């Protein structure tokens, strides 16, 4: 998967998701919104390719994931093309649940796919982040994203 993650969806779909991020964050630049959507795509790919591992996005990347989810047909197709496992969202809203090892593990899985996780967008949920986002989810050990593999014929997982 070494091509740009944004190429997993069409240019039109990417622009629409980027616009959704900008709608939720009116002061955000188009360039920053695009970076956030691309990291969201990387996150979904990492989850799809690593079922059962328990991954989570940073608060900033969660904004890009939210934009993808709002484009339901695009999102369902993306999940299907990445392996068939639908990556469900389980929001967590307690910012004290920040757990660096979960983000480290997620970035490692992104790297294993041949991409680099944008270090400026995968930081802690503090006031010192690169950009403020509307997404308030803060995933933690109790709300990591764990994909259950698609059942095989005969009900065997």
Report pLDDT digits (tens) over 62-112: 999 999 999 999 999 999 999 867 888 877 766 666 778 889 999 999 999
Is 84 a domain residue? Answer: yes
Is 136 a domain residue? Answer: yes
Of 38, 36, 43, 47, nearest to 9 (Cα)?
38
What was the pLDDT predicted at 135?
61
**Tokens 């299907």 label which residue?**
80
Is 157 a domain residue? Answer: no
What was the pLDDT predicted at 73?
96
For 98-125, b where at least 16 C-beta lie within 10 A, e where not — what string? bbeebbebbbebbeebebebbeebbbeb
**Tokens 């993650």 label which residue?**
5
What was the pLDDT predicted at 139?
56
Is 89 a domain residue? Answer: yes
Are the beta carbons of 43 and 57 closer than 8 angstroms? Answer: yes
CA-angle at 115, arms to 13 and 139, nearest 5°: 75
Q: What is the CA radius of gyration of the chain?
A: 15
Is 35 a domain residue? Answer: yes
Report pLDDT digits (tens) over 17-64: 999 999 998 999 999 999 999 999 999 999 998 888 888 898 889 999
What was the pLDDT predicted at 102?
87
Is 155 a domain residue? Answer: no
Cα separation, 33 vs 29, in Å, equals: 6
Is 81 a domain residue? Answer: yes
Cα separation, 99 vs 138, in Å, equals: 9
Higher-pLDDT residue of 87, 157: 87
Q: Which domain holds residue 71?
A: 5-143
Mean pLDDT of 124-140: 59
């Amino acid at each position: 998967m070494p091509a740009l993650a944004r190429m997993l969806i069409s240019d039109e779909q990417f622009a629409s998701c980027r616009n959704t991020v900008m709608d939720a964050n009116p002061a955000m630049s188009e360039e920053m919104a695009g970076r956030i959507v691309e990291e969201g795509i990387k996150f979904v790919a990492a989850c799809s390719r690593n079922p059962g591992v328990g991954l989570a996005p940073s608060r900033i990347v969660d904004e890009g994931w939210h934009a993808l989810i709002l484009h339901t047909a695009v999102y369902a197709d993306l999940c299907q093309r990445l392996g068939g496992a639908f990556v469900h969202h389980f929001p967590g809203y307690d910012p004290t649940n920040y757990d660096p090892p979960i983000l480290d593990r997620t970035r490692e899985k992104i790297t294993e796919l041949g991409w680099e996780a944008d270090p400026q967008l995968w930081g802690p949920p503090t006031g010192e982040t690169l950009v403020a986002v509307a997404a308030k989810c803060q995933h933690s050990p109790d709300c990591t994203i764990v994909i259950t593999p698609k059942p095989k014929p005969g009900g065997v997982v």
